[in-house]
Structures are given as structure tokens and as C-alpha cells.
Amino acid sequence: MPHPTASILITDSGADQFLAGYVWRRIGITGRHIAFTGPIAGRDIGTVLPVSSVASKIIDAQGNTYCGKAHEILHDTNPHQHESLLPPALLPPAQARAAGNAVDECPSDALTPRGDYGTQCCVISGHTLLLFFHGFKCYYRVEAITDEEMRTSPEIVFTSDEEYEPSACSKP
């Protein structure tokens, strides 16, 4: 189980936008901003966050490390925002799917709707990353990334760099 203040990237089916917590390094900014319509991490409705590109060190359940990048995401630099949110690509346009990625957060001991067992992993930029699992949370560990790690670690890209506006998505 992760420590309550550990930085983690959670697959969150309730999220319609990738949210990067404070340990992610901002590597680009679009100039656009989005206001929350619901509370998160004790923040008020109406909190405005920049739409950015970010990078962080991602650690999977096998201990593999990657330079994880995400584009067209919300970046929250509040030091209390330990959890980053990865939508499992259920809403169109799907940020992760648009980048050619797949998310299967179904535990490996549970059946999917197709009747096979879950893989509890993500395929990101051609790499298969096993998710940590605790209780009801599937997640990756996240740490601040150094310049050296950005240059030498395998790069994975979570989201497409195509402009994304979650309020424009059609929801079922």
C-alpha cells in the first residue's frame, strides 16, 4: 500500500481529463486554462489549472522506470495533490487511446465483461507496464524526474498532443 502522501498515478474511470500532481515537471504550456466543475483534493469548484505538457519518472509494479510524458493535461502544483489521475479512456475523444495506448485496470484475478481475466496493465508507447494494485486502486508510483533520467530512461507518452477539451466531449 502506498503511503498516504506518496505520489501516485491512479487509473480513474471518473476522470475526464488527465490530472498531473505537483511532482510532474512542466515541459510545455498551451496558454489555455480549465476551471474545475467539481472538487478535488479539498480544492474549491472553480479552481483554474493550466493545460500543459509534463514529464515525470514512472515506476511500474515490476520496478521498471520510465520517463513518462503527458500532453494536453491539467497540471496541479498544489503540494497536497499527491494523486495524479489517468482516465482509462472511456470518454471520446479518449486521450490515452488517441495516443495509441490501452488501459486494462481489471485485476488479474477478476473477469472482464468479455469473460477473460484482466491484465491489470497499460500498454503505453509499445511498453507493457504492470499496475500496482491495492484495494480498489490501480496505480503507478510517480517521482520527480531528473535531467539525466529524462535523457536516458525509456520514454512513454500517456496522451495525445492533439488539443483536448473535456467539456466538448459527448457523455453517455
Distance of CA 92 to the CA centre of its chain: 16
With 0-12 / 13-18 / 19 or more C-beta atoms within 10 angstroms meaning exposed / middle / buried, residue 27 is middle
Closest to 69 measured CA to CA, from 127, 118, 110, 119 = 127
pTM recorded for the entire structure: 0.85
> Which pLDDT does position 166 carry in this prediction?
56
Question: What's the CA gap between 139 and 68, in Å, rounded?
Answer: 14
Print pLDDT tens along the chain (172 aa): 677 778 888 877 767 678 899 999 999 999 988 887 665 656 667 788 899 999 999 999 999 999 999 998 889 888 888 888 887 654 334 666 777 788 888 888 889 888 999 898 889 999 999 999 887 788 999 999 999 999 999 999 988 888 766 554 443 3
End-to-end distance of the chain based on CA atoms, in angstroms? 34
- Kindly report the number of other CB atoms within 10 A of residue 32's CB atom: 12
